[in-house]
Structure 1
Amino acid sequence: MAERLGTLVFSSDFDDFATWKNALQAQLPDLQVVHASAIERPEDVRYAMVWKPPAGFFERLLGLQLIINLGAGVDALVARSDLPPGIPITRITDPQMSRMMAGYVLFAVLRHARDIPHFEQAQRRGEWAYRHPRAPDETTVAVLGLGQLGAMAAHEVQRQGFRTLGWSRTLRQIDGVQCFSGMETLDDVLGQADIVVLMLPATPHTHQLLDRNRLMRMRQGAALVNVARGSLVDQAAMVDLLRSGHIGAATLDVFTQEPLPRDDALWSLPNVLVTPHLASVAIPASSAQQIAANIVRVAQGLDPDNRVDAERGY
């Protein structure tokens, strides 16, 4: 089995190698797991587990059979010039990641629906600024992107009693969520929402999908939550509209440039919450079983599950 499985190489500056190695070898004791900095025989590497590996990373891995992306978004990976053609790429679809993402989205929605930014600003002024709460069904939340993560987030939002709209490229069906599809419906969805949640993949079709004109389609004072990718939004236009109050507030976990530069205007806007791309991350203990199953499938000459369509970008 050891000879048949071969070696997995790990490359990520954001994930702990030892934790992932232990989790994988608990599932596949015969799998050799090495860090990218310690590869002695690149020709033995059959599997690569990566998150934003350095340029040229794949050029030496001539025996590669599977690439495992350490996360749900694969936009940075499929755009690389050194990506070997024809090698299957898989994403992690751990239910724990979906729960983590849904929890973050629900936190952000509740924060805006209950006007918490208003009270945070009032606290800094030392002001007792009462604002009467609204019933959940008086707030409309639009979730743009209804893949695995988006669908669970929309489900959790509607469970709290919010009027919930969903929008995606192709029509989906989610209990309690009014679903729309196609570009011809997007402006109408934006115009109905008090809170807009971005959960779309980053592809050429979604690049700056929310440009200045489309951001202006949002209701005056509506809130924006972005847990997808910074490239979905015209960030400069967003900043202008946050300053003017057309966008009332924002919770942002992703940005055009990451880490967000220290001099970026978003840091100092009082109606913005910045978090460092942590809404959902892969958890080794719960993800390793899925990854191990795909390694075994590939070793047996079978196609892996959760394969990414590199041309579509997701």
Structure 2
Amino acid sequence: MGPRILFSAPDEHWPLWRPHLLAAFADAGLDVTLTNDPSGPWTFDYVVYQPGGPVRDFAPFERIKAVLSLWAGVESIVGDTSIVVPLCRMVDVGLTRGMAEWVTAHVLRYHMGIDGHILGQDGVWRNSVVPPLAPERTVGILGLGELGRATAAMLTSIGFRVVGWSRGPRELPGIETWSGAEGLSEVLGASEILVLLLPATPATENTLDARALAMLPRGARIINPGRGPLIDDEALLKALDNGHVGHATLDVFRQEPLPAEHPYWAHPMVTVTPHIASATRPETASMAIAENVRRGEAGLDFLNVVNRAESY
């Protein structure tokens, strides 16, 4: 008998995911039992997990080999002490490409000055400012994990000068990489457009505080599809008000949905998008889940295991 797998996610996700998961398991040569019914927790070998599903406590799942998250971010679950097996975050080609495309679109929007033409439909012929070419524009990326690397590669392929920062040293072809406090200062100081793709951990909270914002070139643009707590909201609003930051496109927030009374909604120099920068797509993410189950059944190391000490 093959592995028994529990799909624990909000009910509406079950009919969307079930056929893709079954197809991916079959392609991986796995004969599985897949259900969204959590009764009899002692019988399951794996839990495929997304917040909002029926599982609140993993302690009854005494025989599971791993918890496989459907989300790239694991801050809502990483501190759960009832998980005593490997916790694997989602790394998926669809999610990764979706993020790179979304960021690239907004970088190009800023680079080309598109907002000025869309908002300036008032009969005035504005042709005095011609945007530079991509090699003349520096884009900074904070966070060089899977999403950051893919985004940097896409921007580099267009011709942008990309500088990147990560918590630990990394070497990436065609990209200037930095780490540490001094490296962060270098990247911030060079970034005409800054992209935040760090995880949400105690060490990354308020990475973009008043001091960091002051290091940016005046008029810099900020794009945050990473995590809301990366930004000190009050400090960003002040920097927008005094013109040091020219505009911010924010896809993630400390509270979601973003409350209607939040000042970001009404600020003329803020674009709010509703956490849509990228999504976990069942068509491709199911293959990542199936591969980890295959590895578990073969006695191999799981992929993308969360480091609990680093919260990511």
Regarding TM over 0.5, the answer is yes
Cα drift, residue 7 of structure 1:
3.0
Cα drift, residue 119 of structure 1:
2.4
Cα pair 2:72 2:89 within 8 Å, conserved: yes
Cα drift, residue 79 of structure 1:
2.6
TM-score computed with the length of structure 1 as normaliser: 0.90
Cα drift, residue 110 of structure 1:
0.4
Aligned length: 306
Cα drift, residue 173 of structure 1:
2.1
Cα pair 1:142 1:166 within 8 Å, conserved: yes
Cα drift, residue 271 of structure 1:
2.0
Deviates more, 1:57-66 or 1:154-163: 57-66
RMSD: 2.0
Q: How far, CA to CA, are the matches of 1:290 and 1:39 in structure 2?
A: 22
Pairing 1:39–2:43 present: no
Pairing 1:198–2:199 present: no
1:286 aligned partner: 284
Cα pair 2:4 2:34 within 8 Å, conserved: no
Residues 1-314 of structure 1 mapped to structure 2, 5 A cutoff: 1-2=1-2, 5-12=3-10, 16-28=13-25, 30-35=31-36, 38-53=37-52, 56-80=56-80, 82-85=81-84, 87-123=85-121, 127-130=124-127, 131-314=129-312
TM-score computed with the length of structure 2 as normaliser: 0.91
Q: Which runs of 5+ in 1 are unaligned?
A: none
Q: Structure 1 residues 61 and 211 mapped into 2: Cα distance closer, same or farther (>3 Å)?
A: same
Whichever residue aligns with residue 281 of structure 1, its letter is A
Cα drift, residue 135 of structure 1:
1.9
Q: Structure 1 residues 43 and 112 mapped into 2: Cα distance closer, same or farther (>3 Å)?
A: same
2:188 is paired with a residue of what secondary structure? helix
Whichever residue aligns with residue 42 of structure 2, its letter is E
Deviates more, 1:59-68 or 1:175-184: 59-68
Cα pair 1:235 1:256 within 8 Å, conserved: no
Whichever residue aligns with residue 35 of structure 2, its letter is V
Q: Identity, % of aligned pairs?
A: 36
Cα pair 1:145 1:166 within 8 Å, conserved: yes
Deviates more, 1:59-68 or 1:229-238: 59-68
Deviates more, 1:125-134 or 1:164-173: 125-134
Q: How far, CA to CA, are the matches of 1:62 and 1:259 in structure 2?
A: 35
Whichever residue aligns with residue 286 of structure 1, its letter is T
Q: How far, CA to CA, are the matches of 2:93 and 2:9 in structure 1?
A: 23
Whichever residue aligns with residue 79 of structure 2, its letter is A
Q: Structure 1 residues 286 and 210 mapped into 2: Cα distance closer, same or farther (>3 Å)?
A: same
